[in-house]
């Protein structure tokens, strides 16, 4: 593949969630996670079949959409999947060229290249299929200057009181993790490599990610000059049902398991989110015994990390801190990771065992281990 044939990926443009009640979900992400609600589409903006809210914090854009009628073409996905990620949109230099290259290389098209124009300019997009019901939309907004896209208006300032908006310090999407069925990880890694021109960054086998009861395998692919990172997980054989199998069972197939959100002050971010009643996974207190000796010197206070349940890992480039929320809906599917990198580009391999044992304790409570 020559350089001229590379799909010109820039970054993750936005993540679109399909949810049962977009208005309530917007309230949740605003007041629990610190997102600002900036735009709305629905009946009042002459959009007849769905409602949508655009939320932003730092460089992160989430779009929450809900059907307004039972005959919406995607309404049935709520019965199958519950709330979850429907689309990961990728900013590209040329939508039509990106679409053509992807289709030539075997991608399944969902929506062909379109250019929609309103008083704010021209918004271009096209969509291809990824794992499960997840899609990727190629987006170019170079000639569009509206708040988000045609059909969306800036949020009515009377809808939300600015005095109640408190950002949590989230800055960017670090990576997005997909769970796929057993035996299909390599298939989807090949898709990202051969269709979208990604490269494989790192891989973990069932010896790296295992506990007494379960195991999984994972490969990380990256594109857009390293700005887009997608770990792909599949279950491995174990004594009991792994977290990946639990996800696939309750989600009804492959899909986005979690989104890692970056901050430059994880202690302050987690304190803010905890004050907003966000629930996080906890590892046993023994994790923090001799942590300084295992990790070495870091800028953060080890007592703060132990108090909040934040994990630490180090590689030869620096260290990283991370913590994981519990699922954000009743189904044990989508959750979030909060991550701070101080030089390190790793994914917390040293924390895998403690983390997955914490997830298994939650599974045991749910009766799904």
Domains and CATH numbers, the chain: 3-164 (3.10.180.10), 170-366 (3.10.180.10)
pLDDT of 35 reads 98
Would you state the pLDDT for residue 205? 58
C-alpha distances in Å from residue 75, one per residue of 65, 112, 252, 317: 11, 21, 15, 46
Over 90: is that where the pLDDT of 357 sits? no
Token output for 133 = 């019901």
> Do the bridges between strand 50-57 and strand 215-223 make them parallel or antiparallel, or are there none, so unpaired?
unpaired
Buried b (16+ CB within 10 A) or exposed e, 206-240: beebbbebbbbbbbbbbbbeeebbbbbbbbbebee
Reported as a single tens digit per residue, the pLDDT across 149-188 is 999 999 988 888 888 899 999 999 999 999 999 999 999 9
pLDDT for 218 equals 86
The pLDDT of residue 369 is 64
In this structure, the number of other CB atoms found within 10 A of the CB of residue 296 comes to 10
Average pLDDT over the chain reads 91
Condensed to tens digits (0 to 9), the pLDDT of residues 229-278 reads 999 999 877 666 778 899 999 999 999 999 999 999 999 999 999 999 99
Q: pLDDT grade, residue 210 (50/70/90)? A: low
Neighbour-count burial for 8-45, b at 16+ CB within 10 Å, e otherwise: bbbbbbbbbbbbeebbebbebbbebbbbbbbbbbbeee
What is the reported pLDDT for 23? Answer: 97
Q: How far apart are CA 363 and CA 294, in angstroms?
A: 29
With pLDDT > 90 as the criterion, what percentage of the chain qualifies? 75
Across the range 337-343, mean pLDDT stands at 96
**What is the tens place of the pLDDT at every residue in 46-79?**
999 999 999 999 999 999 999 999 999 999 999 9
């Amino acid at each position: 593949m020559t350089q001229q044939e590379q799909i010109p990926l820039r970054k993750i443009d936005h993540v679109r969630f399909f949810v049962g009640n977009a208005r309530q979900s917007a309230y949740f992400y605003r007041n629990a996670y610190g997102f600002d609600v900036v735009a709305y589409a629905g009946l009042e903006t002459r959009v007849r079949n769905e409602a949508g809210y655009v939320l932003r914090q730092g460089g992160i854009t989430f779009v929450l959409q809900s059907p307004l009628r039972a005959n919406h073409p995607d309404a049935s996905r709520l019965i199958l999947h519950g709330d979850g990620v429907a689309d990961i949109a990728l900013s590209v230099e040329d939508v039509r060229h990106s679409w053509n290259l992807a289709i030539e290389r075997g991608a399944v098209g969902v929506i062909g290249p379109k250019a929609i124009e309103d008083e704010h300019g021209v918004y271009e997009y096209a969509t291809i299929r990824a794992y499960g019901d997840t899609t990727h939309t190629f987006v170019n907004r170079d000639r569009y200057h509206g708040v988000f896209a045609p059909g969306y208006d800036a949020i009515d300032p009377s809808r939300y009181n600015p005095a109640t908006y408190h950002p949590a310090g989230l800055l960017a999407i670090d990576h997005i993790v997909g769970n796929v069925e057993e035996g299909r990880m390599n298939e989807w890694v090949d898709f990202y490599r051969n269709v979208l021109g990604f490269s494989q960054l790192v891989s973990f086998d069932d010896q790296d990610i295992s506990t007494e009861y379960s195991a999984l395998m994972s490969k990380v692919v990256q594109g857009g000059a390293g700005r887009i990172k997608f770990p792909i997980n599949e279950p491995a054989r174990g004594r009991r049902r792994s977290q990946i199998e639990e996800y696939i069972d309750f989600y009804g197939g492959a899909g986005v398991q979690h989104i890692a959100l970056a901050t430059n002050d994880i202690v302050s971010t987690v304190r803010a989110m905890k004050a907003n009643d966000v629930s996080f996974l906890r590892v046993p207190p023994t994790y923090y015994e001799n942590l300084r000796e295992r990790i070495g010197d870091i800028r953060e206070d080890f007592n703060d990390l132990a108090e909040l349940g934040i994990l630490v890992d180090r590689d030869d480039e620096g260290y990283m801190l991370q913590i994981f929320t519990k699922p954000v809906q009743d189904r044990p599917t989508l959750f979030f990771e909060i991550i701070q990198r101080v030089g390190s580009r790793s994914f917390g391999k040293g924390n895998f065992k403690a983390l997955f044992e914490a997830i298994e304790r939650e599974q045991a409570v749910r009766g799904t281990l």
